[in-house]
A and B are shown apart, each in its own frame.
Chain A
Amino acid sequence: MIMKMSKTILFAALFIPGLLFATQARVESMGNNTDFIKDETSASLNPATAPAFGNMLSGSLGQIKETGNGQWTRDEQWFAGVLSYPLPSGLRLTGGVTLNKTFEIEKLYNSFKDNNTFLVYNYGDKLIPGGGDRVDYLDAIEMPEPFADIYAFGCVSPNEDLDFGLGVRYAGNKKTVEEDNAEISIVGGNLGIVYRFFGHSIEGSINFDRFSLDRTKVFNDTNVKDINISEQGNNFDVHLRSFISLSSKNTVVPIMILNSRHLLGFNTTDLGLGFGFNRELHKGLIWAGAKYVYHKSAYPDRIGGLQIYPSDASDVNSTPLPGGVEEISHKMVYSFGVEKKMLWDWFAIRVGGNKVYEYLRVSKDDFIYQKGLYERDVDAVAWGITLGTPDDRLKFDVTVSEAFPYSSFLSGGEDGVLVSRISAALKF
């Protein structure tokens, strides 16, 4: 009996701090890294972590971004629900759905589009009229954006020490106009497990996603090559981490990550090993961690049968990489975050940092384009606040504009933007 009770207390001590203030804005404003802390967003990678969060609704009003000329719009809006139901036999069933939360593979695909990675010849201004000599292939083929982004998962917890989870996800789009066809899809799933013992825990998950893009477009012009591309790629993520309790307040977190991605001829492999530390504060949490990542990637020479050209600009740090190059890098990722209730029980403040140092080698056919220290565009520091009920059941997490504190209170922020992201969670 005492043993069972102590296990329950350990279970509660392990998870309650991780349940506080758990949303996307929280992660962003507290280190922008979930490797070393428990957060509801981790259910996307490992569904077996969801039962510990219990019944919950969460979502985001989105991140606000400038689209030009002082116009602002919000994207990355999503909502989700998790329901956990104990059976009389002691078994606990948990199910959840996330809608419209962009998948990792989709983010990679979008980054190719946003960065004009696949520049091809514009066939004398015919692929994209007025587009110039070189145009982005993904713009030229007018692919519809994948949507739905539905992720559903179910978990079985035979006892309070063990959770198994299985998730499936889908995003896609399809458009047919006469003989022209465009179809894109991301179909995937994951398997996860969480095992707890003597106040410690081990989490493991495998994610699989199959990316598929098919596009045919007939130009009825012998001077332009018809578009006919069919690309498929399999992507894997393996995550392993452990929360080892040193005391009731201190936890160390070793982590191992393996990513393998194949998309439109782009292949990348990341292998990461890291170590973090969590300390529970009075009404708060502080964490820090470091992770080494071996990164290797290769860009295709051609896409859809067309030659990929390098960007006109020569600065590889700020422009898309030319086709056919290979990247090899050694990264060190340092991150920390802290959150603490201040003044009132309904008000918490967070701050965090995330910095990546990378020793990068970019080459093609033994010709080295770049070699040396390199910094990708990662925002180093962010901060935010939480407004919620004193019992922490309802939370509004906010990422605050970093420009705002430097400006006049009456007009501060870029174009008066005070807040860059708002998300919320309700536990019931």
Chain B
Amino acid sequence: MVTQLILLALFMALSVNATESRIESMGKRDIFFRDDMSIFRNPAGIGVLGNFVTGSLGFVSDSKELVLNNPRLVTSVDTSISCSTTTGGIFHPSTSQLVFDTSYQVKTGTPTNQWFGVVYNYELNPNFALFGGAAFNREDDLLLFYNAQKNRRLYKTGTVFPDLKGKSDFILGAHFGKINAAAAYYHASQEAKYQGTNDSTFGPSISLNRFNGGTEIGLGSHSLEIFGGIGQIIYSNTGEGFESALDIKEKTDNSLYLGSRLFFQTKIGGGIVFVPAVNYAKKAVFDSSITIISGGIGGSYRLENGFFWCGMEWENYSAENDSADIKESGQGMHFNFGIEKSLIWKWLIVRVGGHRYFGTREIEVGNIKTEEWVQNSEDSGLSDDLLGFGIGLNYQNRLRFDITFNEATPYFNPFGKGLEGSSNGGHMLLRISSTFSL
């Protein structure tokens, strides 16, 4: 019982104010601390996080495209790729009406990636509970990869990559004594069919499915997470008028991810929690694929009215795209830290965090081979740059609004127009997300 209380106290403390904005403004990554968003990686986390409604009002950026999955992947050589297209969008062959906008630099002046979800635990007896959840319109990691490949425009004009709709998550799990286990399903798809001149139909269809499962095992005051999943993107492009750069009518790409992390509670320094973690992910869509293996260790520490974490993670990846004849591989180290603390009032939480990646990469574009060192940028206007900060508004520890600030905001007069010239553009806030504990 005492152990369970310690475990509960540990997890509740770590789960305060846990949303996308919290992660973004507190170190950019959530490998080494627990947050609500981790339930989409390991759904068994619902068993310890409790009941809540969560969501996001979305993300804005005036300067860069929103979708950048693994931004270190092929950036400096994009301009030299001969098969890269420059036209903006796919047009209906009969009406010339814009069907799908695939322009490379998508400015998101209005909020994008809005989503919401709910999770609930139903206790049948002290040792057994069922839990479940659902989320709608969330962009899954595999979908971000699909969008990133689509937006890289490595394919010739006329190749149709529709925006996927109906984005949904469904989770079901159970709590048995000290073990939580759950399974989840994510789906997004599009089927665009048009009437041809001879009563035939044509157009692309695509279906993205992801099945994943995980467990969380209580080991005294420690906790072990093991999780994994498979993903599948099914593509077909049929009918006259639409050519395929892939020269195929149908294709199915499979993805896989596996991971584990351990929350190891110690008595060092008043209760530092060490978190070793390993992850493997292989993502594939069309003729692009990437395989990432990573592992590292982090630690977290409870401050008075606050929380601090830091970690380092080694990463090795290899990627290729056949259409553009690009091969890339690299390895490097992520260094992260994040901190949040109530300041002046208990309901006001200030967050700041940093993420530095250094590594090497080798790129082959055609016959040209480049080896170089890389690091993430300082002030690119992207979510993955060096530093971030934000605030949390916390009402009685139940309703929380987490806000990612434009990092340039505090430098400018709020009544002036100078902010518009900053890397992130004129918005003072970049993301707002919220959680309400039930």
Question: Which residues of A are in contact with B by a Cβ distance under 8 Å?
Answer: 57, 59, 61-62, 64, 69-75, 77, 79, 81, 85, 99-100, 144, 147-148, 172-178, 346, 389, 394, 398, 404, 409-420, 422, 424, 426, 428
Contact = CB atoms under 8 A, between A and B. Distances in A.
Given A174-B373, A177-B368, A426 B356 contact: no
Interface residues of B, number: 42
Given A62-B387, A70-B421, 5 more contacts: A74-B379, A79-B354, A346-B344, A410-B413, A411-B416
A411 B372 contact: no
B275 interface: no
B410 A422 contact: yes
Contacts of A420: 411
Interface string B387-406: 10100000000000000000
Given A178-B368, A419-B410, A73 B308 contact: no
Contacts of A394: 341, 343
B337 A75 contact: no
Contacts, number: 135
B344 to A, nearest CB: 7
22 contacts: A59-B387, A62-B387, A64-B422, A71-B422, A72-B411, A74-B411, A79-B354, A99-B356, A100-B356, A100-B378, A147-B375, A175-B370, A175-B373, A176-B372, A394-B341, A410-B415, A411-B413, A415-B416, A416-B412, A416-B415, A418-B410, A419-B412
B403 to A, nearest CB: 16
Interface in B184-217: none
Interface of B, helix, strand, loop or mixed by DSSP: strand
Contacts of A57: 308, 337, 339
B310 interface: yes
A122 to B, nearest CB: 24
B419 interface: yes
Given A61-B387, A77-B379, A77-B387, A413 B416 contact: yes
Interface of B: 269, 301, 303, 308, 310, 335, 337, 339, 341, 343-344, 352, 354, 356, 358, 360, 368-373, 375, 378-379, 386-387, 389, 407-408, 410-413, 415-419, 421-423
B398 to A, nearest CB: 25
Nearest to B358: A148
B421 A72 contact: yes
A159 B107 CA distance: 58
Contacts of B368: 177-178
B413 A175 contact: no
Contact of B412 (A75, A77, A99, A417): A417
Contact of A62 (B369, B371, B379, B415): B379
Given A73-B379, A73-B423, A346-B344, A424 B416 contact: no
Given A175-B372, A426-B341, A415 B408 contact: no
A243 B379 CA distance: 39
Contacts of A79: 337, 354, 356, 387
Contacts of B354: 59, 79, 99
A54 to B, nearest CB: 13
A418 B354 CA distance: 23
